[in-house]
């Protein structure tokens, strides 16, 4: 078992390259905000992949988990496809969407009446600068509010071969102050 784990860890290090993950930008919200955008991503052409690490919550004090939506290059066309699998510890659910106007990552936003609860997600945006393929995103996240305690695996594709020059993160709510969004570059 330990040899399998060691092999997985070694393969991830090789895939990330010798430089590993470099912090490129961080946004920490000081006020309630509807969306966060990372722009001018063309200046990061030395990197092969991007990663977003977010710790956030909604500002409404909702007792439900919410989703985080992502859009590339301000594209609002029906050019996105996603699917996800989430579990609560006692049940499992899955869903998918095609011809969507955004990528959707489910059950990742905490909040509720307890202002100390945050949801978290890690998004890997693969080959963001490659103009020969569509852009693939994989996500891992989770959140907790009131009676919901979910973890989610998700992936999606932007059906466009353009290099990603901007990433907009939004939802069907506003992000609360204290939410943090960090962008990392992964060398190829």
Q: What is the C-alpha separation between 79 and 98, in angstroms, rounded?
A: 8
Q: Could you tell me the pTM of the whole model?
A: 0.86
Q: What is the pLDDT of residues 3-48, one digit of tens each?
A: 443 444 444 444 444 458 999 999 999 999 999 999 999 999 999 9
What is the pLDDT confidence band of residue 152, given thresholds at 50, 70 and 90?
A: very high
Q: What is the C-alpha separation between 56 and 68, in angstroms, rounded?
A: 10
Q: What is the C-alpha separation between 167 and 98, in angstroms, rounded?
A: 20
Q: What is the C-alpha separation between 141 and 138, in angstroms, rounded?
A: 10
Domains of the chain and any CATH numbers: 19-187 (2.60.120)
In this structure, the chain runs to a length of 188
Q: What average pLDDT does the segment 51-64 reach?
A: 83
């Amino acid at each position: 078992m330990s040899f399998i784990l060691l092999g997985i860890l070694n393969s991830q290090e090789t895939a990330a390259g010798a430089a590993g993950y470099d912090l490129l930008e961080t946004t920490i919200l000081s006020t309630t905000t509807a969306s966060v955008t990372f722009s001018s991503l063309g200046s990061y052409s030395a990197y092969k992949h991007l990663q977003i690490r977010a710790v956030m919550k909604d500002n409404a004090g909702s007792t439900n988990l919410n989703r985080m939506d992502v859009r590339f290059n301000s594209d609002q066309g029906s050019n996105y496809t996603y699917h996800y699998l989430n579990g609560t510890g006692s049940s499992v659910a899955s869903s998918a969407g095609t011809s969507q106007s955004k990528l959707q990552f489910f059950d990742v936003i905490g909040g509720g009446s307890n202002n100390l609860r945050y949801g978290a997600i890690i998004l890997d945006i693969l080959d963001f600068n490659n103009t020969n393929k569509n852009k693939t995103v994989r996500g891992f996240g989770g959140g907790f509010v009131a009676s919901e305690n979910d973890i989610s695996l998700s992936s999606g594709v932007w059906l466009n071969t353009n290099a990603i020059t901007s990433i907009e993160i939004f939802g069907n709510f506003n992000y609360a102050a204290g939410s943090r969004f960090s962008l990392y570059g992964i060398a190829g």
